[in-house]
């Protein structure tokens, strides 16, 4: 028997790979990319073999044997290892923390029974046998041109499919998929959507279109068993199409030939904790590395992507019109809240428009990006407000449950009967959330079928889908929702969108706020009139309630003019030296006392040389305290990405060795500053 040394990446914060001995005949050597069970820190852990060597620098008496190798599973590809390696290096995380968490838990448990069972189950599933698309609609000329371009693209080819809302981007993806599936004998396609509640709609479309093709879905609400099966279907190459949310970007796909990122501008593609990666950016890297086409689809592309397209690095394929022949983009109108004073948050013009839709049996959507009943309650006599004891924020009134709840730390309390400070019994809700709007509307339209869709109303598994089905069936007159309803959904009976109070976002300190608000308004507006005007029915209309009638952002929404708005934002960013003309990273620190967090950051700022890189002063985060910890941040910037990357590598090296009790983390390309 011979020995070899397995170099293994483990899911630990230590930035290293670990050596283990493995005894086997030379011909039975494990392969790089296979999973191996080892004992680490008195625990059994599953790791990934990243290298196989003949000897180790670890002294023989310290070297442990690996416990098992999962030889029943084919190795992940070299390209996949390179992807994980790139992400680890770019986001400054240990390789194991990138490579392993996305692998289903049941592959990582010490026993191999779950894996063996899943492999048996997978073997029984019918293979993809026929990639022919069924019931393919006739595409319009722009759709067809886009689909052909993508379907026939060769090598690395990033495409921005810039199509107005309702322009039929989905059909372009599906047609391009058909071309790739027909051409590439066992080619795989990855399609990503920003939100889990957009997967059922698209999954239905894909299954109906390609009944002879195995489809796997990857998102966070799968059961462990499902996740295992779908992950294996992707990893073994059996699934020809994989549909998923951002985590799917790290799926093992040995024959990947096309990537589609729908709603590429959506901030949900950015993971906000742990490995803070951008799934969209990793997807572009993955496509580049594999020399395959990638489609980024949006009606409101991110400025980063728009910038690439303007510079000619991405091919711009526009869809300027709605796909359904009689459908046009909705007419967007502003309602002046100074003149038309709102009652229960609704101006008389908006109420009249809702009423008209009710009479005609059409659906309306009211958009308000704030859940709960009211964002705060206060005492009118002494000025007490319901702030959270643990956070720099307010406890939100959830009237139906008789509770106040902090949306940041989840602290809950019963609604006080009287003011905790002065005893006054008259506590008033201030401001308006979706629940309060629902209550007001129900009083105004007792006959109406009103449905609220937000994170509170859809807590139970499957309830979001039920709610969306109810809307699609036409069993709802007025839909009230947060950003959950704003994007991607193809509501066919909806002719009116009312936007209740977007003004607060106009004056945010965050330089990305206007880009985001604009995208959000265009997206939600885009839910109206998608099926075209019915005979005797209303033309699609979007009403925005505002106190800032002259604001240029609203003028751009009214004229559906993304191009001009994006160009002017880009110009501003260039003048102010902001992304995408500048590259940023954010070091965050958390401690029970703000001073400690700030002191750590000050120390971090001064611990290395940083040519070509600007380090700003440490500052408290705008929401400083969450769940009893204070948070501060340090922004690092450079006009050169390589310079920033080189600096971060060295900096992290030093910081990892720094003794501190402050909890810190680094985010590269942060979205929220
Ligand atoms: N060629 C076509 N002929 C007729 N109808 C079409 C065609 N292409 C798409 N449609 C229909 O147009 C509607 C809008 O398509 P889709 O949902 O793909 O739009 P989208 O571009 O993704 O919009 P959004 O950006 O708002 O999500 C759908 O109901 C779809 O079935
Ligand atoms: Zn709180």
Task: Name all domains of the chain by residue range, CATH numbers in brackets.
Answer: 2-101 (3.40.1440.60), 141-319 (3.40.50.300), 331-371+433-573 (3.40.50.300), 376-430 (no CATH), 583-668 (3.30.70.260)
Strand partners, 294: 158, 259
pTM of the full structure: 0.95
Strand bridging mode 450-453 / 478-481 = parallel
Reported in sequence order, the residue ranges of 308-426 that DSSP labels E, i.e. its strands, are 315-319, 331-336, 363-367, 376-379, 396-398, 403-405, 412-414
Coil, strand or helix: which one is 114?
helix
Spatial contact of 616 and 557, defined as CB atoms under 8 Å apart: no
335: confidence class by pLDDT, cuts 50, 70, 90: very high
Supply the mean pLDDT for the chain.
Answer: 95
Give the mean model confidence (pLDDT) for residues 273-296: 97
Strand partners, 450: 478
Q: What are phi and psi of 387, to 5 degrees?
A: -85, 160
Question: What is the pLDDT, as a whole number, of residue 56?
Answer: 93
Q: Is the pLDDT of residue 1 over 80?
A: no
The contacts of residue 118 (CB under 8 Å, 6+ apart) are 106, 225, 228, 229, 232
Question: What is the pLDDT, as a whole number, of residue 104?
Answer: 96
The contacts of residue 184 (CB under 8 Å, 6+ apart) are 255, 257
Q: 490 CA distance to ligand 1 centroid (A)? A: 8
Binding residues for Zn(2+): 379, 382, 388, 391, 406, 409, 419, 422
User: pLDDT tens digits for 396-449?
Assistant: 999 988 999 999 999 999 999 999 999 999 899 999 999 999 999 999 999 999
Give the mean model confidence (pLDDT) for residues 66-81: 96
Please indicate whether residue 204, judged by its CB atom, sits closer than 6 Å to ligand 1.
no
Sign for the CA dihedral angle at 297, 298, 302, 306 comes to: positive
Spatial contact of 257 and 292, defined as CB atoms under 8 Å apart: yes
119: confidence class by pLDDT, cuts 50, 70, 90: very high
496: confidence class by pLDDT, cuts 50, 70, 90: very high
Query: What does the alpha-carbon distance between residue 211 and residue 188 come to, in Å, rounded to a whole number?
Result: 15
Q: Is the pLDDT of residue 83 over 90?
A: yes
Reported in sequence order, the residue ranges of 579-628 that DSSP labels E, i.e. its strands, are 583-591, 614-615, 619-626
User: What is the best residue among 263, 490, 532 to mutate for testing ligand 1's pocket, by most ligand atoms within 8 Å of CB?
Assistant: 490
* Atom 5 in ligand 1: residue holding the nearest Cα: 324
Please indicate whether residue 30, judged by its CB atom, sits closer than 6 Å to ligand 1.
no
Query: What does the alpha-carbon distance between residue 610 and residue 620 come to, in Å, rounded to a whole number?
Result: 23
* Atom 29 in ligand 1: residue holding the nearest Cα: 490
Q: 394 CA distance to ligand 2 centroid (A)? A: 7
**Ligand nearest to C-alpha 407:** 2
**Ligand nearest to C-alpha 519:** 1
Query: What does the alpha-carbon distance between residue 213 and residue 216 come to, in Å, rounded to a whole number?
Result: 10
First to last CA, the chain: 57
Strand partners, 315: 159
C-alpha to C-alpha distances, 386 to 389, 395, 591, nearest whole angstrom: 9, 5, 24
The torsion defined by the Cα of 462, 468, 474 and 480, in degrees rounded to 10, comes to 120
- Among 32, 62, 29, 28, which residue's Cα sits nearest to residue 47? 32
The contacts of residue 526 (CB under 8 Å, 6+ apart) are 164, 165, 166, 299, 329, 330
Q: Is the pLDDT of residue 27 over 90?
A: no
**Ligand nearest to C-alpha 623:** 2
Please indicate whether residue 516, judged by its CB atom, sits closer than 6 Å to ligand 1.
no
Spatial contact of 177 and 258, defined as CB atoms under 8 Å apart: yes
Neighbours of 212 (CB within 10 A): 15
Q: What is the 3-state secondary structure (H, E, C) of 540-575?
A: CEEEEEECCCCCHHHHHHHCCCHHHHHHHHHHHHHH
- Identify how many contiguous H helices and E strands the chain contains and give both numbers: 18, 29
Please indicate whether residue 167, judged by its CB atom, sits closer than 6 Å to ligand 1.
yes
Query: What does the alpha-carbon distance between residue 93 and residue 355 come to, in Å, rounded to a whole number?
Result: 55
Strand partners, 586: 635, 667
User: What is the best residue among 200, 301, 324 to mutate for testing ligand 1's pocket, by most ligand atoms within 8 Å of CB?
Assistant: 324
- Among 148, 180, 140, 195, which residue's Cα sits nearest to residue 164? 140
Q: Is the pLDDT of residue 627 over 90?
A: yes
Query: What does the alpha-carbon distance between residue 529 and residue 655 come to, in Å, rounded to a whole number?
Result: 54
Q: 411 CA distance to ligand 1 centroid (A)? A: 42
Give the mean model confidence (pLDDT) for residues 643-653: 95
User: pLDDT tens digits for 582-605?
Assistant: 999 999 999 999 999 999 999 999
* For the chain, percent of residues with pLDDT exceeding 90: 89
Query: What does the alpha-carbon distance between residue 525 and residue 89 come to, in Å, rounded to a whole number?
Result: 40
Question: What is the pLDDT, as a whole number, of residue 186?
Answer: 93
**Ligand nearest to C-alpha 487:** 1
255: confidence class by pLDDT, cuts 50, 70, 90: very high
C-alpha to C-alpha distances, 627 to 588, 591, 624, nearest whole angstrom: 16, 11, 10
Spatial contact of 215 and 243, defined as CB atoms under 8 Å apart: yes
Neighbours of 519 (CB within 10 A): 25
């Amino acid at each position: 028997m011979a020995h070899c040394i397995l170099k293994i990446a483990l899911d630990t914060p230590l930035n290293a790979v670990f050596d283990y001995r493995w005894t086997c005949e030379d011909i039975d050597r494990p392969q790089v990319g296979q999973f191996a069970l080892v004992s680490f820190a008195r625990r059994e852990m599953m790791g990934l073999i990243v290298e196989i060597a003949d000897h180790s620098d670890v002294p023989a008496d310290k070297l442990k044997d690996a416990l098992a190798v999962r030889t029943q599973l084919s190795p992940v590809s070299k390209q996949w290892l390179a992807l994980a390696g790139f992400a680890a290096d770019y986001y400054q995380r240990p390789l194991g923390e990138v490579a392993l968490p996305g692998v289903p838990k049941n592959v990582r448990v010490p026993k191999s029974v779950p894996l063996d069972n899943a492999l048996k189950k997978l073997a029984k599933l019918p293979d993809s046998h026929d990639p022919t698309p069924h019931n393919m609609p006739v595409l319009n000329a722009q759709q067809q041109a886009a689909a052909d371009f993508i379907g026939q693209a060769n090598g690395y080819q990033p495409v921005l499919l810039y199509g107005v809302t309702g322009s039929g981007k989905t059909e372009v993806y599906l047609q391009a998929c058909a071309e790739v599936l027909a051409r590439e004998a066992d080619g795989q396609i990855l399609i990503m959507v920003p939100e889990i509640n957009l997967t059922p709609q698209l999954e239905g479309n894909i299954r109906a279109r390609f009944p002879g093709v195995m489809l796997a879905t990857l998102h966070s609400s799968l059961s462990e068993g499902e996740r295992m099966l779908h992950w294996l279907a992707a990893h073994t190459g059996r699934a020809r199409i994989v549909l998923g949310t951002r985590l799917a970007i790290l799926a093992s796909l040995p024959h990947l030939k096309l990537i589609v990122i729908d709603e590429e501008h959506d901030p949900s593609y950015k993971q906000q904790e742990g490995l803070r990666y951008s799934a969209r950016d990793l997807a572009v890297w993955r496509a580049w590395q594999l020399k395959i086409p990638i489609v980024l689809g949006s009606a409101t592309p991110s400025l980063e992507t728009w910038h690439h397209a303007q510079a000619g690095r991405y091919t711009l394929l526009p869809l300027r019109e709605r796909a359904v022949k009689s459908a046009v983009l909705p007419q967007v109108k502003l309602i002046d809240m100074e003149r038309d004073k709102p009652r229960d948050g609704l101006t008389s013009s908006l109420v009249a428009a809702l009423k008209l839709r009710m009479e005609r049996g059409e659906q309306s959507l009211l958009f308000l990006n704030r859940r709960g009943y009211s964002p705060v309650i206060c005492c009118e006599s002494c000025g007490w407000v319901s702030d959270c004891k643990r956070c720099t924020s307010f406890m939100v009134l959830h009237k139906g449950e008789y509770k106040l709840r902090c949306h940041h730390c989840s602290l809950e309390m019963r609604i006080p009967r009287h003011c905790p400070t002065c005893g006054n019994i008259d506590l008033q809700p201030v401001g308006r959330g979706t629940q309060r709007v629902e209550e007001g509307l129900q009083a105004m339209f007792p006959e109406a079928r009103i449905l609220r869709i937000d994170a509170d109303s859809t807590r139970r598994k499957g309830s979001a889908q039920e709610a969306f089905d109810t809307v699609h069936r036409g069993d709802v007159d007025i839909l009230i929702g947060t950003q959950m309803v704003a994007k991607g959904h193809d509501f066919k009976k909806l002719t009116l969108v009312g936007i209740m109070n977007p003004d607060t976002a106009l004056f945010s300190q965050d330089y990305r706020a206007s880009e985001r608000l604009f995208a959000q308004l265009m997206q939600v507006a885009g839910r109206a009139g998608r099926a075209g005007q019915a005979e005797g029915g209303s033309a699609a209309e979007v009403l925005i309630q505002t106190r800032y009638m002259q604001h240029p952002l609203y003028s751009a929404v009214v004229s559906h003019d993304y191009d001009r708005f994006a160009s002017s934002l880009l110009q501003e960013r260039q003048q102010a030296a902001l992304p995408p003309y500048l590259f940023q990273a954010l070091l965050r620190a958390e401690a029970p006392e703000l001073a400690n967090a700030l002191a750590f950051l000050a120390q971090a700022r001064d611990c290395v040389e940083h040519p070509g890189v600007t380090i700003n002063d440490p500052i408290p985060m705008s929401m400083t305290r969450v769940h009893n910890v204070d948070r501060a941040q340090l922004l690092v910037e450079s006009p050169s990405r390589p310079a920033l990357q080189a600096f971060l590598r060295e900096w992290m090296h030093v910081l990892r060795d720094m003794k501190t009790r402050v909890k810190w983390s680094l985010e590269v390309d942060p979205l929220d500053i």
